[in-house]
């Protein structure tokens, strides 16, 4: 059996990824980025860094616990960076990484689509409910 380099093994694994398989890493990543709070946090950070309290005010309905969990998971995935500035009180800023910006373009487009088409969706729902 011929030996393979790490780059070749990564490329082979990339070819074998299948998001339709539950245990596939890409399926798990899709689950993460399709979360409502993830989408809203990424979209909120698209214009630049924000502090935790600013994010909490901008994203209506998110609990402190969910915001913290979402920020930690996005930081772990390399989608956002957390910067701590020593001061009194300590200042913590969150901003998108280059990877996060590439995702932000997609999620912003989905958010914009939802805002643009909500009336059509509501009409379709009403028609469906009346027919049922």
CATH number for 99: 1.10.10.10
Task: Assess if residue 79 is contained within a domain.
Answer: yes
Mean pLDDT of 33-52: 94
Q: Is 89 helix (H, G, I), strand (E, B) or coil?
A: coil
Rounded to two decimals, the pTM is 0.79
Least confident window among 7-11, 21-25, 37-41? 7-11
Answer whether residue 88 shows pLDDT above 90: no
Residue 14 belongs to some domain of the structure: no
Residues 26-38, mean pLDDT to the nearest whole number: 90
Helices (H), 17-97: 25-33, 36-44, 52-58, 64-76
| 15 band by pLDDT with thresholds 50, 70 and 90 | low
- Is there a domain that residue 8 lies in? no
24 in a domain, yes or no?
no
pLDDT band at 50 (very low <50, low <70, confident <90, very high): very high
Q: Is there a domain that residue 50 lies in?
A: yes
Q: Is 100 a domain residue?
A: yes
Give the range of the structural domain holding residue 83, as residue numbers without chain letter: 35-131
In a domain, 11, yes or no: no
* Total domain count, the chain: 1
pLDDT of residue 1: 60
* Helix 64-76 and helix 36-44, axial crossing angle in degrees, nearest 10: 80
48 assigned to some structural domain: yes
């Amino acid at each position: 059996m011929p030996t393979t380099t790490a780059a070749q093994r990564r490329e082979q694994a990339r070819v074998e990824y299948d998001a339709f398989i539950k245990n596939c890493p890409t399926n798990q990543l899709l689950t993460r980025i399709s979360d409502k709070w993830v989408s809203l946090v990424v979209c909120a950070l698209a214009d630049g860094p924000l502090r935790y309290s600013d994010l909490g005010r901008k994203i209506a309905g998110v609990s402190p616990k969910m915001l913290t969990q979402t920020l930690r998971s996005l930081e772990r995935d390399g989608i956002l960076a957390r910067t701590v500035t020593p001061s009194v009180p300590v200042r913590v800023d969150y901003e998108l990484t280059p990877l996060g910006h590439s995702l932000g373009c997609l999620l912003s487009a989905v958010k914009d689509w939802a805002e643009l088409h909500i009336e059509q969706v509501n009409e379709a729902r009403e028609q469906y409910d009346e027919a049922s």
